[in-house]
Amino acid sequence: MTLPATSKAAIVTLAIEISNPASHPGSGGSVALATGGPFTLLAEEGVAPATFEHDDLLPAIDRLLKSAGVQRSQIADVAVSIGPGGFTSTRVACAAGKLIAEALGATCRGVPSALVAFADDQRPQAAPGKSVAIALASKKGSAWVAILPEGIPTPAHAHAACDGRVMTAEQLAGAHPAIVLADGHLDESIRAAMQIAGVPIHTPRFAASTLARVSTLLPPIDGEHLLPIYPRQPEAVTLWQQRGRG
C-alpha cells in the first residue's frame, strides 16, 4: 500500500487503542498515525497481547513509525482510548501517552472507549432517532453504560460518552436502547434482560484508526490529566477498606 506523503508541517496524531484487549481475541489492540484536515490515515499497526515478560506497545509504535515513514518529532498530538476497559491496559496506555507527549511536547486527548466503539463504521446501525448503548466493564449484575443517539459522531456524542454510568439490567432496559454493544463478559442478567426486550447485542470493535478519527471531537488536555475511566473502585481498594474496618 502506498502511504500519503507526510510533510514536516503536517500535524500527526498518534492513536493508542489497547483499552479492551478482551474484545480482540489474539490481539492486544492497535496503534495508528493520522493527519487531519481532511482526516488521512497514514498507517495502523497491531499490538501483540501483553505477557508477564513482554509488552508490545512501544515496539508496535516503532514499527508504526517505520511503516508510515514518520519521524517521532512529527507527532504533535497523542490520543489515548481511556476506557472503561482492562485495569492494566488502560493504565499502560495512559502512562505511555503521557510519556510520549511529554518527551515530544505534544498535546494529549483522552477519548472514552465508548466513543471509539460507537464511531466504528462497521458496527450495526440503529434506526434514526434511536439510541445505541455501549456497555463496558460488566461485573456482578451491572455494567458501565454510555447511551448515544444514532448518527455521525459530534462533540455532543463525545460528551455523552464521557458521562456514562454504572447501570443494572433493569436500568439499561428502562433506557430503551435500539442496540447494545458489549463484549462476551456482559453479565448474564443484562444479556437476559436485553433478550426479553428484543434488543440485539453486538460485539464492539475498538480500532486505533477510529480513535484517531474521533479524537478531535474532544479538546486537548495536559498530560497530567490523562487518566483512565474507572467505573468502580478497584477491588484491591475495597478489600483494603474492608480489612481496615475489621
78 and 134 together in one domain: no
> Is 246 inside any structural domain?
no
> Is 5 inside any structural domain?
no
105 and 21 together in one domain: yes
209 and 156 together in one domain: no
Boundary of a domain, candidates 187, 202, 217: 202
pLDDT 10s digit of each residue in the chain, 246 long? 333 444 445 689 999 999 998 776 678 899 999 998 889 999 999 999 888 788 899 999 999 999 999 999 999 999 999 999 998 999 999 999 999 999 999 999 999 999 999 999 999 999 999 999 999 999 999 999 999 999 999 999 999 999 999 999 999 999 999 999 999 899 999 999 999 999 999 999 999 999 999 999 999 999 889 999 998 766 655 566 667 654
65 and 87 together in one domain: yes
> Is 60 inside any structural domain?
yes
67 and 173 together in one domain: no
96 and 119 together in one domain: no
> Is 175 inside any structural domain?
yes
Based on the structure, what is the number of domains in the chain? 2
78 and 181 together in one domain: no
20 and 104 together in one domain: yes
**CA–CA separation, 239 and 210 (whole Å):** 37
Angle (CA) 88-90-92 rounded to 5° is 65
> Is 2 inside any structural domain?
no
> Is 213 inside any structural domain?
yes
Cis omega (within 30 of 0) on the bond before 124?
Answer: no
Report the predicted TM-score, pTM, of the whole model to 2 decimal places.
Answer: 0.90
> Is 219 inside any structural domain?
yes
**pLDDT tens digit sequence for 99-130:** 999 999 999 999 999 999 999 999 999 999 99
74 and 182 together in one domain: no
CATH value at residue 144: 3.30.420
107 and 182 together in one domain: no
CATH value at residue 211: 3.30.420.40
**Domain carrying residue 67:** 12-112+205-241
228 and 158 together in one domain: no
Angle (CA) 129-133-134 rounded to 5° is 140
> Is 7 inside any structural domain?
no
44 and 127 together in one domain: no
